[in-house]
């Protein structure tokens, strides 16, 4: 498609890792607000090699697997980029020190439908638990046998929520509706959790939970929160759910726990090395990631490609809040969604 010439004085944004649905919701939001910004949509992810695509732009708009390390930020700054607009909640992919050193405006979308991710976590729990994915395929083949589809009743089971922030709370509310006993662990507990469950130390949560669902951010302290030691501390045969960030789990250790049957089932919407795979069609490629390949062989592992956020409501909200953040940048005023200052 031929590039349109720039409107005089229009602020230009380079959007990286953009998909057709990003264009749809961002163009809708831009039209609704009559915002003059000009968005250049690039399917490629941002890193030091692709940063040059932001030439002539004042802002970049990025997603979860774009790389905003010091080298990339230095390059962007040299090109004239002054604003980093994250169209996601997590910001573990941003070098906060470099962004602060360069004085760049950096804002995210901290909440855009926590329920969307929580509902996806529950969809994964119930798919794995009641084997609806296998039942769907069987019934279409005319196979109505039930052998192999045995699940457990969630009512009365114990579910542990690691990270009782916005998504953790939304998940706890749904699990309450199922009649589960809900346990929570969070170094900064929210009072909103009190009517939903009991805060306990992590060791107790792991030992007592039939389902452990991760909802904490990926930081230096939470990386590989689930490793060989914490897996051994879990109730034997429990289900582990991760809709947060792949790096929370040591995948090699999880594979060992699945093989020994210490871990009963695994549902992941995120994966440590997902940037090489997710958001693109690799169905015609040879899979070179042997750890991911091994995960795919387990009947009790369910993987989705980082789609927890993927609802109409959430995409609308992401676009709207990103434009709000852009307005803050333009005005040079306060912005509630700034990334935190580095430690």
Q: Residues in the site for ligand NAI, rule: CB under 6 A?
A: 89-90, 111, 114, 117, 162-168, 185-188, 215-218, 221-222, 243-245, 269-270, 306, 308-309
Minimal distance in Å, beta carbon 281 to ligand NAI?
19
Calpha distance 52→74 (Å, rounded): 11
Calpha distance 18→180 (Å, rounded): 39
The structure tokens listed for 232 are 């051994």
CB 246 within 8 A of CB 266: no
Q: Which of 245, 256, 272, 331 is catalytic?
A: 245
Q: Which residues pair with 86 in a beta bridge?
A: 62
Minimal distance in Å, beta carbon 196 to ligand NAI?
13
Q: Which residues pair with 161 in a beta bridge?
A: 184, 213
Q: Which of 30, 108, 272, 274 is catalytic?
A: 274
Strands (E), the chain: 12-15, 38-41, 59-62, 83-86, 105-107, 158-162, 181-185, 198-199, 211-214, 238-242, 263-268, 301-303
> Does residue 245 carry a catalytic annotation?
yes
Minimal distance in Å, beta carbon 201 to ligand NAI?
11
The structure tokens listed for 278 are 């997710």
Calpha distance 152→183 (Å, rounded): 19
Q: Which among 132, 128, 215, 122 has a CA at the least distance from the CA of 175?
A: 122
Whose Cβ is closer to ligand NAI: residue 164's or residue 262's? 164
Give the residue at shortest CB distance from ligand NAI: 165
> Does residue 256 carry a catalytic annotation?
no
Q: Which among 208, 214, 259 has a CA at the least distance from the CA of 238?
A: 208
Please, what's the largest Cα pairwise distance for the chain? 67
Whose Cβ is closer to ligand NAI: residue 163's or residue 197's? 163
Minimal distance in Å, beta carbon 209 to ligand NAI?
14
Whose Cβ is closer to ligand NAI: residue 11's or residue 240's? 240
DSSP labels, 179-192: T-EEEEE-SS--GG
Whose Cβ is closer to ligand NAI: residue 300's or residue 307's? 307
Phi first, then psi: give them for residue 79, nearest 5 degrees: -85, -10
Whose Cβ is closer to ligand NAI: residue 184's or residue 264's? 184
Minimal distance in Å, beta carbon 184 to ligand NAI?
9
Whose Cβ is closer to ligand NAI: residue 57's or residue 320's? 320
CB 171 within 8 A of CB 123: no
Minimal distance in Å, beta carbon 9 to ligand NAI?
35
Active site residues per annotation: 245, 274
């Amino acid at each position: 498609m031929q590039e349109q010439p720039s409107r005089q004085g229009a602020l230009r944004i380079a959007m990286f890792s953009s998909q057709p649905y990003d264009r749809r919701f961002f163009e809708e939001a831009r039209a609704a607000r009559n915002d003059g910004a000009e968005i250049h949509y690039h399917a490629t992810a941002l890193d030091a090699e692709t940063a040059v695509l932001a030439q002539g732009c004042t802002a970049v708009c990025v997603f979860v697997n774009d790389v905003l390390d010091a080298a990339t930020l230095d390059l962007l700054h040299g090109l004239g980029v002054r604003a980093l607009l994250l169209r996601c909640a997590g910001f573990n992919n941003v070098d906060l020190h470099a962004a602060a050193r360069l004085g760049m405006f950096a804002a995210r979308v901290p909440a855009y439908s926590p329920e969307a991710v929580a509902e996806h976590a529950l969809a994964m729990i119930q798919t794995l638990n009641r084997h609806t994915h296998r039942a769907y395929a069987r019934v279409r083949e005319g196979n109505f046998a039930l052998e192999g589809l045995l699940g457990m009743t969630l009512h009365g089971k114990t579910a542990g929520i690691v990270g009782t922030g916005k998504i953790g709370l939304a998940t706890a509310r749904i699990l309450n509706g199922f009649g589960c006993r809900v346990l929570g662990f969070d170094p900064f507990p929210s009072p909103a959790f009190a009517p939903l469950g009991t805060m306990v130390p992590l060791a107790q949560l792991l030992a007592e939970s039939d389902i452990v669902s991760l909802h904490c951010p990926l930081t230096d302290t939470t990386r590989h929160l689930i490793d060989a030691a914490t897996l051994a501390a879990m109730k034997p045969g429990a289900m582990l759910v991760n809709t947060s960030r792949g790096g929370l789990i040591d995948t090699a250790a999880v594979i060992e726990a699945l093989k020994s049957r210490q871990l009963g089932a695994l549902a992941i919407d995120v994966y440590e090395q997902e940037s090489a795979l997710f958001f693109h069609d690799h169905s015609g490629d040879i899979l070179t990631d042997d750890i991911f390949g091994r995960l795919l062989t387990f009947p009790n592992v369910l993987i989705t490609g980082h789609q927890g956020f993927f609802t109409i409501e959430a995409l609308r909200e992401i676009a709207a809040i990103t434009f709000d953040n852009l307005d803050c940048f333009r005005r040079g005023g306060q912005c509630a969604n700034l990334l935190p200052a580095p430690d």
